[in-house]
Structure 1
Amino acid sequence: MEDTSVKIDKETRDRLRRLAGDRSLKEYLAGLAEKEEQEQRLGTATAAFRKVLSVPGILERFDADFGGLPSVRHDETQAA
């Protein structure tokens, strides 16, 4: 992939460099873009999930078709 340049003010550049830590600014921004894309996909999936859950009787139908949600052991619900 060919590199390009983006003009930003020096303060923003310095902030990004600090946030990048040991990574190059190029690596940091690529990772940041990937995280943002993932957040957008998660937002889309969450919206779709909420829409499905709003359908009357959907949870009962899920339980009937798939036997309901698996039971969760107490130790699995504890925060790490």
Structure 2
Amino acid sequence: MTVADVIRAAMALTPEERSRVADVLYDADAPDQAEVDAAWAAVAARRAEELESGEVTGLTREEADAYLDARRAARGA
């Protein structure tokens, strides 16, 4: 079956059926939320360790705002 065959068959479906097919196809490529959550938890833990060990230092709100303003200005935004 070719892509064109699949599209032709899908177009023969009712709007509700096409919507269901679209949902299934969209979800087929979605990452596993548990994996995404675990990856973000690992990043957060690593960054917390870096702060606690003194490997990196945090910025004050004012420093962060100034840094972001300078980046924005450098991009011409």
* TM score, norm. by length of structure 2: 0.37
For the pair shown, the structure with the greater C-alpha radius of gyration is 2
By relative contact order (CA 8 Å, sep 6+), the higher-ranking structure is 2
